[in-house]
Amino acid sequence: MSAVLAYLKENRDQLLNKLTDFLTIPSISTDSIHKQDVQKAADFVVRYLKEIGFENVDKQETKGHPLVYAEYNGAGEEAPTVLFYGHYDVQPVDPIDEWTSDPFKPEIRDERIYARGASDDKGQVFMHLAVFEAYMKTEGKLPINVKVCIEGEEEIGSEHLYEVLQSDKERFHADFAVISDSGMVAANQPTILYGLKGFTGIEVKVTGPDHDLHSGIYGGAVRNPITALSHILASMKNEEEVITVEGFYDDVEPLSDEERKLISEVPSEDYRNSTGIPETVSEQGYTPQEHTMGRPTFEINGIYGGYQGEGTKTIIPSTATAKITCRIVPGQNPNKIQDLLEKHIMKAAPAGVKVEVKKEKLSARAYKVEPSNPLIKVAAESYTKAFGKETVYIRMGGSIPVVEWIEAIYNIPIVLLGFGTPEDRLHSPNESFPLDSFDKGMETLVYYWEKLGQK
């Protein structure tokens, strides 16, 4: 193992040069102009995997961008098999003027490498490949068996991934999965992400008159759809941030005392500074961190109806619409939550208007792996050893579709090993990744594979 670490140290410049080549390819998946670049990035990954010594390396075409697959079976039947997922496509770069250096000419400044994809996710994918290379070059083998699945459509919703995962279950089957497409709560703060929320959404549309009416002539005889919508929305969550939809919390797995303790150990974000809000609010009985990480949320993402221009237009509008999404936690079923929301809304709908609920098709269950799971414990130890700092455990309010799908199709534990930092500016101009994370992240992976291979 020390030889592996030494290899990474000695070859750091060469590895950074190789990462630079990878980051130079503008593999923007959403932009058809870059279709060939996306292919080039896939080819880069294919070439690298072959160099390392992976078997069955395959660029699997989809209706969109290809998925790169590879296997390593040399660790023996006793050793566990990991499914390593990542993506080689990147976000667009607009507004281009705000970049200090060219997003596709990687530049190192202040111990960070600046480029689109440096953190999300090319940089983190590359670290895994470099660690595999180091093992093969020094020990001639990997401690574990690996299935590699690196897609080119993550930034456009992983459009064809579910189909692929579903269509060849044998191919992608593994004992557990590892994904490095997330971050740590602070630079140099090893972080285990052990849970994600699911989500579900609805749209409520209230229709009153069939056209906008003169408020002077009709005001007093006609229900105002915006007022009706306000009443409905106000009835769904109270000022204490408690969701007042009947049955909403019924299936929520309660936060255990252990989890509340873990959450309390996570360094708190300075919300006032990062968001400009005068003060935080959270569900009665829970801290903002407990709520964001471990309790379901109800957010109105958008609302519109009637006149939105300058000045005044004295109308009773014909319609008012609100878009709502809920982030749900383990135990909750997104379809059931949609049904409860719909039922509540229909019950709250006042006379004089028509209320319609449209259920969003995209929805996902929450994901959680127990912090006490050995795969998690070993990851935490590896992090701590590499970063020299105790690992914190977090759950996140966001959703990662691939996590939900791997869980749904294969029902295996998923270990989310993120090395990004809050300063990485994902999806924004001047994306970067700290070289410190690059070094210590690879070190973490070396410890992790080594330890898992010994089991």
User: Would you give the end-to-end CA distance of the chain in angstroms?
Assistant: 16
What CA–CA distance (Å, rounded) separates 206 from 239? 23
**CB of 362: closest distance to a copy of itself in angstroms?**
7
**182 sits near a copy of itself (criterion: CB under 8 A):** no
**30 sits near a copy of itself (criterion: CB under 8 A):** no
Q: Which is nearer to a copy of itself, 27 or 325 (CB)?
A: 325
Q: Which is nearer to a copy of itself, 32 or 312 (CB)?
A: 312
Strands 176-179, 392-396: pairing is: unpaired
**307 sits near a copy of itself (criterion: CB under 8 A):** yes
**CB of 227: closest distance to a copy of itself in angstroms?**
6
Half-sphere exposure of 373 (CA within 13 A, CB side): 19
Pick from 124, 325, 421, 437 the residue near a copy of itself by CB under 8 A: 325
Pick the piece of the chain touching a copy of itself (CB under 8 A) from 12-20, 148-156, 269-277, 377-385.
269-277
Q: Is 347 helix (H, G, I), strand (E, B) or coil?
A: helix
What CA–CA distance (Å, rounded) separates 47 from 303? 49
**Site track 214-253 with a copy of itself (rule: CB under 8 A), x = hit:** xxxxxxxxxxx-xx-xxx-xxx-x-x-x------------
Q: Which is nearer to a copy of itself, 44 or 286 (CB)?
A: 286
Q: Which of 245, 316, 241, 320 is nearest to 282 (CA)?
A: 241
What CA–CA distance (Å, rounded) separates 36 from 280? 46
Q: Which is nearer to a copy of itself, 231 or 261 (CB)?
A: 231
Pick from 2, 97, 257, 308 the residue near a copy of itself by CB under 8 A: 308
Q: Which is nearer to a copy of itself, 275 or 411 (CB)?
A: 275
What CA–CA distance (Å, rounded) separates 59 from 148? 11
Q: Which is nearer to a copy of itself, 8 or 340 (CB)?
A: 340
Q: Which is nearer to a copy of itself, 306 or 330 (CB)?
A: 306
Residue 72 CB contacts under 8 Å (≥ 6 apart), including other chains: 53, 54, 55, 132, 142, 145, 146, 148
**416 sits near a copy of itself (criterion: CB under 8 A):** no
Q: Which is nearer to a copy of itself, 140 or 278 (CB)?
A: 278
Phi, psi of 431 (to 5 degrees): -60, 140
Pick from 64, 117, 209, 453 the residue near a copy of itself by CB under 8 A: 209
**297 sits near a copy of itself (criterion: CB under 8 A):** yes
Instruction: Look up tokens 């379809």; give the residue.
Output: 335
Q: Which is nearer to a copy of itself, 131 or 229 (CB)?
A: 229
**92 sits near a copy of itself (criterion: CB under 8 A):** no
Count of Cβ atoms closer than 10 Å to residue 319 Cβ? 20
**CB of 322: closest distance to a copy of itself in angstroms?**
7
Pick the piece of the chain touching a copy of itself (CB under 8 A) from 1-9, 110-118, 141-149, 293-301.
293-301
Which 344-403 residues touch a copy of itself, going by CB under 8 A?
Answer: 350-354, 360, 362, 396-399
Which helix (H) or strand (E) covers residue 387, if one does?
Answer: helix 374-387
Count of Cβ atoms closer than 10 Å to residue 178 Cβ? 24
**338 sits near a copy of itself (criterion: CB under 8 A):** no
Instruction: Look up tokens 């667009």; give the residue.
Output: 92
**CB of 431: closest distance to a copy of itself in angstroms?**
16
What CA–CA distance (Å, rounded) separates 95 from 107? 18
**201 sits near a copy of itself (criterion: CB under 8 A):** yes
Pick from 175, 299, 370, 381 the residue near a copy of itself by CB under 8 A: 299
**271 sits near a copy of itself (criterion: CB under 8 A):** yes
Strands 67-72, 145-151: pairing is: antiparallel
Report angle CA 107, 109, 112 to the nearest 5 degrees.
85
Pick from 26, 190, 195, 305 the residue near a copy of itself by CB under 8 A: 305
Tokens of residue 415, six digits: 């270990």
Task: Kindly determine how many residues on this chain lie close enough to bind a copy of itself according to the rule CB under 8 A.
Answer: 83
Report angle CA 246, 366, 321 to the nearest 5 degrees.
55
Buried b vs exposed e over 71-91: b needs ≥16 C-beta within 10 Å?
A: bbebbeeebbbbbbbbbbbbb
